[in-house]
Amino acid sequence: MNRLFTLLFFAAFIAFFSCSDKDDNLVNEGPQLMIKFQFDPNQARLDNLGQPATVSIGKAAQSPVFNTISAHYFELAPNEFTQLGEGSVLYHAAETISGGDIAIDFSQSKIVSDGETFLSIPLSEINQGSYQYVRVSLSYQNYNISILNNGNNYTATLESFVGYNTYITNHNIGNNIFNVNANRLQGYWALGLHNFPYATSGQAPQGATTVPNPIASTSAIPQGSCVVTGKFSTNLVITGNENRDIIVTLSLSTNNSFEWQEVNVDGKFEPTAGENVIDMGVRGLQPTFTR
């Protein structure tokens, strides 16, 4: 599936689904399904098919320290044969055509930290059923990495845009302002050093972002999207008779998830030496729930 299909696929969701973010200030509507993110550098490092993966020869990687994340789509799927969009779609963030093609509207993205509630949806609004899988389309990541610059080691904050296409007016890292005012395809990134006047941005290669989908053989995702798929150890069952909240935690593997092409073979990211970002995808999703 090519880039055009990807854009048309997500455009179709606007017409068929009216799910939107819930206002935290609304009156409580009974028991909620609450969605939270968790970042785990020790979780298994997986490839696009959900199989264990090591860092390729000629590349190097590190486990970034996550600050925040955002997503633009969330779905519960009954089984491995449920096609994307045919499960219970609970969330679809704002999109825009301000940059030309349809894209995620970054200015309206909800950005959260580890353990913070990303979504809170009344359980009464969720289709009753037994759900085996979670699908979440990640769109934005903010984390700290270590880099080597002119022989010195620094900490930098990196913003990574992994959604299929994102319209960005501007974004900032500390005092560094990046004026974009355009769409950016999956793989756009920018970084700024801590306590040092250096900032840069770039674009990872098309198709290089890892998006684990262990059921790719039965339920594929569009190329260029970041719809990560994870399986509950025990099915999440929604009966319609719940009297308490259900908390779903999406544990994302950050195990060597930031990857670059080495120029100086020393395992350190050195952009001034021409080392380019290759991969900023997460390395697996393990969903769990508590009642």
Q: What is the pLDDT of residues 1-18, one digit of tens each?
A: 344 334 444 444 444 443
pLDDT at 24: 45
> Is 252 a member of any domain?
yes
Per-residue pLDDT tens over the stretch 112-158: 999 999 999 999 999 999 999 999 999 999 999 999 988 899 999 99
> Is 191 a member of any domain?
yes
pLDDT at 29: 76
DSSP 4: H
> Is 163 a member of any domain?
yes
Per-residue pLDDT tens over the stretch 153-200: 999 999 999 999 999 999 999 999 999 999 999 999 999 999 888 899
Nearest to 251 by CA among 114, 90, 111: 114
Model confidence pTM above 0.85: yes
> Is 21 a member of any domain?
no
What is the C-alpha separation between 166 and 235, in angstroms, rounded? Answer: 33
Q: How far is the CA of 186 from the CAs of 4, 47, 202, 217, 226, in angstroms?
A: 13, 17, 11, 23, 8
pLDDT at 7: 47
Exposed, middle or buried: residue 20 (CB in 10 Å: 0-12, 13-18, 19+)? exposed
> Is 81 a member of any domain?
yes
Q: Does residue 178 contact residue 191 with C-beta atoms inside 8 Å?
A: no
Instruction: Work out how many domains the chain is built from and give that number.
Output: 1
> Is 20 a member of any domain?
no
> Is 97 a member of any domain?
yes
Q: What is the mean predicted confidence (pLDDT) over 96-106? A: 98
- Please count the other Cβ atoms lying within 10 Å of the Cβ belonging to residue 127: 13
Q: Is the pLDDT of residue 65 over 80?
A: yes
Q: Is the pLDDT of residue 274 over 50?
A: yes
Cβ-proximal residues to 210 (8 Å cutoff; 6+ apart), any chain = 46, 47, 48, 53, 257, 279, 281, 282, 283
Nearest to 20 by CA among 84, 113, 95, 103: 95
- Domain hosting 78: range is 29-290
Q: What is the mean predicted confidence (pLDDT) over 237-259? A: 97
Q: Calculate the average pLDDT of the chain.
A: 91
Q: Strands 117-122 and 65-77, how do they pair?
A: unpaired
Q: Does residue 119 contact residue 89 with C-beta atoms inside 8 Å?
A: no
pLDDT at 3: 47
For the chain, the C-alpha Rg in angstroms (whole number) is: 19
Cβ-proximal residues to 111 (8 Å cutoff; 6+ apart), any chain = 68, 69, 70, 140, 142
> Is 173 a member of any domain?
yes
pLDDT at 28: 55
Q: What is the mean predicted confidence (pLDDT) over 234-260? A: 97
The pLDDT > 70 percentage for the chain reads 90
What is the C-alpha separation between 264 and 157, in angstroms, rounded? Answer: 22
